[in-house]
Structures are given as structure tokens and as C-alpha cells.
Structure 1
Amino acid sequence: MLLSRGAARFRRWRRSRPFWGGLAAVLAGAEICALPLAPLKVMLAQGVAGIPSVLMGLVMIVLGLSAWFAPHYRGLAGVLTTLIATAALVLSNLGGFLIGTLLGILGGGLMFGWQPRTPAAPATGATADGSATAGSDPTTSAVPGDTSAAPAHPDPQGAQP
């Protein structure tokens, strides 16, 4: 019982943020960051002692975690993750032998494209006697194109569903 409650809480938390994009960004950052620690035979080029690789990997990990714990920064985190993953292709051993770059581009795209779920609107309509039902909203206009009384969009960035 306790395990199922914990799993349900985790599932609800996971669905309320760009979880898979953040996970891909964290894994890409770990791949790019860990590569300079590999033996010299495995690495293609060390660069300036692997500092760009470690820094880019750490920034990608932070961006992935910020998508989890501050989902309102998902757009910025997604774009920056994609840019850093692309830069890692040149600056960090082919971006972690392409694995880190591909995961970073995928994670950045998933973070940028994620939208929070909006609650389903209750059915609106009128009863037989002409009165409005409990779910109807008197502030919305029935005239097409009239946006003067339209309710505010739930997404602060204004994206349309």
C-alpha cells in the first residue's frame, strides 16, 4: 500500500514537469562530463585538459535538473541544452562520441516542446428550461472572434493547445 502510494505520488510529480527531457539532458551531461576522465587511449583529443567537457557536462546536468524542479524555465533550459549539446560536438570529443550530443539535442527538444496539462473543462450547456448548467461560464462570449470576455490562458507563456 505504501509503495503504491509512493509510486502514484512520483507518477503525478513526473507528469507535472518535462521529466523525460530533463532525464535525457542529465544523462547527456553525465556522458560528456565523464569522458575526460576516461583513459587517454579512449579519448580522441584532450583539449585544454578537458575543462570545456566538464563545464559543458555540468551545465547540461544543471539545466536538466532545473527542468525538473523549476518547470517554468523549460523553454530556456531546452534551448540552452540544445545549443550546448551542439557545441559539445566540436569542443568535447565529438560530444561524448555522439551519444552525449544526440541525448542533449533530444532532451532539449523534449524540454522545449513540453506543455503542462490543462484541466478538462466541464461540459457547458443549458437545461431544458433555458438556465445555464453549473459548468457554464457566463464570462465567455458566444460571438465568434469576440475575445473581450475570454478567460486568460492557463499557460504563462501564452502557448495555444
Structure 2
Amino acid sequence: MFLSRRGRWSRWRRWRRARPFWGGLFAVLAGAWICVLPLAPLKIMLQQGVAGIPSVLMGVVMIVLGLTAWFSPAQRSLAGVLTTVIATAALVLSNLGGFLIGTLLGILGGGLMFAWQPSRAPRAPAPAPAPPPQPSPTVHQDPQGAQS
């Protein structure tokens, strides 16, 4: 059975809103940007040597953290903090963090992941409070029993 276009769109919306989608997307884009820049043709990579390895590793880890935020929203806080730390470290270790673009995308994505909160289900309206009990018109008695 094929879902209608409207059904697929509403399913996509529900999936997207139930997780830190934009933070994960920015983290994946930042990781891809940082990871792809040092992947030059083989001649250039051989000249670059070991210096390109941190770039590729940081990019892959940022991609994994972005996917983690999508598929395990409960881990969003840790993924957001680690994405921000790795994006900041990429500034020093990886071609100025992908010429600043990767670092800025990573910091933005990490912040969005960390700040995202799941939406709460709408609450049912609270019932009206019961009226306060009316005092009974009885005679007040002395609590110590002086009036007998």
C-alpha cells in the first residue's frame, strides 16, 4: 500500500519534529565540509602526509554525532557538546576548520542539538477547582474542655 503524498509529508514532519533535526543536519554538513577538504587527489594527499588524518577523523566523528542526534534524540546533549568541542578543535587542527565554514556550521549544529527540547503532548484542561467547604453553623467548643 502506498501512502499518499500528504501522508508521507505528515509522517516526515512528525519524524523531523521529534528530534533535533536542524542541529543534526548542520553537524553532518560541518563534518562533511571538514572531511572533504583534505581529500584531495592522491598526489596532494601524499605531500600532505599525516596532517590530513585529523581532518578526516574529526569530520567523520561530527557526521556520526549528527546522525546520533537524529536517531537517538536522548543523547542530544552529549552529541551537541562534543560537536561544539570538535568543531572548535577543527579550527586549529584542520585547515582553519574547513576555512571557518565547517567550524561555524559545527558550533551552530552543536548548539541547536544541545538546546533542543522534545515537544510535550498537549495537556487536557484541568478540571475546575472544587468550591471551598462552607463552615458549619455549630457552636465553637473549647479545645481544652473548660466549657462543659
Q: TM-score, normalised by structure 2?
A: 0.79
C-alpha displacement of 1:38 = 3.3
The match for 1:21 among 20, 23, 28 is 23
CA distance in 2, matches of 1:92, 1:125: 59
| CA offset digits 1:56-114 (Å, max 9, x no partner) | 00000000000000000000000000000000000000000000000000000000000
Alignment: residue pair count: 127
Unpaired runs of 5+ residues, structure 2, are: 132-148
Q: 2:40 aligns with which of 38, 41, 50?
A: 38
Match of 1:9 in 2: 11
Give the counterpart of 1:58 among 37, 57, 60.
60
Q: Which residue of 2 aligns with 1:70?
A: 72
Partner of 1:101: 103
The structure that is helix-richer by fraction is 2
Q: Extract unaligned runs of 5+ from structure 1.
A: 132-161
Larger radius of gyration: 2
Q: Which residue of 1 aligns with 2:140?
A: none
Identity %: 72
1:115 aligned partner, one-letter code: Q
Equivalent-residue separation in structure 2 for 1:3 and 1:106 (angstroms): 32
> Larger RCO: Structure 1 or Structure 2 (Cα < 8 Å, ≥ 6 residues apart)?
2
